[in-house]
Amino acid sequence: MSKKLTCRACFAHKKKDIRIENRELAYTNDDVVVKVEAGGICGSDIHYYQEGQAGLSVLKHPMVIGHEFVGEVYKAPTNSKLKVGKKVAINPSQPCNKCDYCLKGKQNECPNMRFMGSAQFNPHVHGGFSEYVIVSEQQCFTYDEKIPSQIMAFSEPTSVAIHAINVAGSLVGKKVLVIGAGPIGGLIVAAAKAAGAIEVIASDISDRCQNVALQMGADLTINPSDKETYARFMENKGYFDVTFEASGANSAIESTVYFTRPNGIIVQVGMGASPIQYPVAQMLAKEIIWKGSFRFIDEFAVAVKWLEKGIINPEPLISSEFNYQEIEEALLTASDKSRSSKVIVTFVE
């Protein structure tokens, strides 16, 4: 027998149409109900607001946005290890765990993935920008209540960064370049240092982003307009053992080949527009390995622990904070990359 709970949530209706509306949740004894405390605005949330779609995922009906969020257990299943009042980070991934990809441990490639806050399927999968959400026990990862929810709200993007590190392989003693020092790029900088990189340099056109990258642990930052410095890192067939491209800009994607040494690795994290021009001949001649990195698999549990233990401190990335009732202003602020890295939305009165 199901029970019902009414709450307020942030619904994206269409382009430039975001509303705070009532939402009725029906849950059973097997469900976990979480009282949401904080969440981070991601690029996909901005796209749903600004364009009514994120990539090929188009809004066909109102959808609750948000997939980076944490909260407190409001209701737990009988005999569950979860207890009411425990702080939890929520993994928004809901793979089918039945397809070939899932059975091979590649859940991030699951064609049936029900990712929270995504309009890929119809009906859409509602996200976490809601006073309360219903999730499975498997999606909940407990953490020390002493850690602020604003910090733990970085669990999902930190998972993306750690997965990118894992795609690259061992970084111990490696020289690393991170192109694009937004939230994901900044977290990759910190993760690379934590993973043993001997030198991490970040590149971004924004002075503000460069400063944030330094706070996240970068040894040096460079601006693409600084042609002299850029040329120095291209000498002798490239300087970096591993390059992470986190901007998605066509010119940045092309440049990775020139900075990366022969037999080096390029990890593409930023979602660039297709098609692009790419220096295939130079990549081939240098025998560079070009890899894609998409979402995460079991790195979510690692991300929670790294944030909990302070191995990664995402605080420099927090540029502003809004109550969920100011969601439109929060989205507009997050859209302005000249002044925003990560905008946090809170649900605690």
Q: What is the pLDDT of residue 230?
A: 87
| Overall residue count recorded for the chain in this entry | 349
Closest listed residue to residue 162, CA positions, set 253, 295, 270: 295
Q: What is the pLDDT of residue 49?
A: 97
Neighbour tally for 295: CB within 10 Å: 18
Q: What is the pLDDT of residue 78?
A: 86
CB 67 within 8 A of CB 156: yes
Euclidean distance between the first and final Cα of the chain, in Å? 31
3-class secondary structure, 145:
coil
Helix axes 183-194 and 155-168, enclosed angle (nearest 10): 60
Spell out the domains of the chain, with CATH numbers in brackets. 3-154+314-346 (3.90.180.10), 161-292 (3.40.50.720)
Q: What is the pLDDT of residue 273?
A: 75
Beta strand 260-268 pairing with 289-292: parallel
**DSSP characters over 48-76:** HHHHSEETTEE-SS-EE---EEEEEEEE-
Tally: H helices and E strands in the chain = 11, 18
Q: What is the pLDDT of residue 99?
A: 97
Tens-digit pLDDT string for the chain (349 aa): 788 999 999 999 999 999 999 999 999 988 999 999 999 999 999 999 999 999 889 999 999 999 999 999 999 998 899 999 999 999 999 999 999 999 999 999 999 999 999 999 999 999 999 999 999 999 999 999 999 999 999 999 999 999 999 999 999 999 999 999 999 999 999 999 999 999 999 999 999 999 999 999 999 999 999 989 889 999 999 999 999 999 999 999 999 999 999 999 999 999 877 788 899 999 999 999 999 999 999 999 999 999 999 999 999 999 999 999 999 999 999 999 888 999 999 998 7
Please state, in angstroms and rounded to a whole number, the distance separating the CA atoms of residues 36 and 28.
Answer: 19
Neighbour tally for 334: CB within 10 Å: 26
Q: What is the pLDDT of residue 182?
A: 95
Q: What is the pLDDT of residue 100?
A: 97
Q: Token match 């979602």: residue?
A: 271
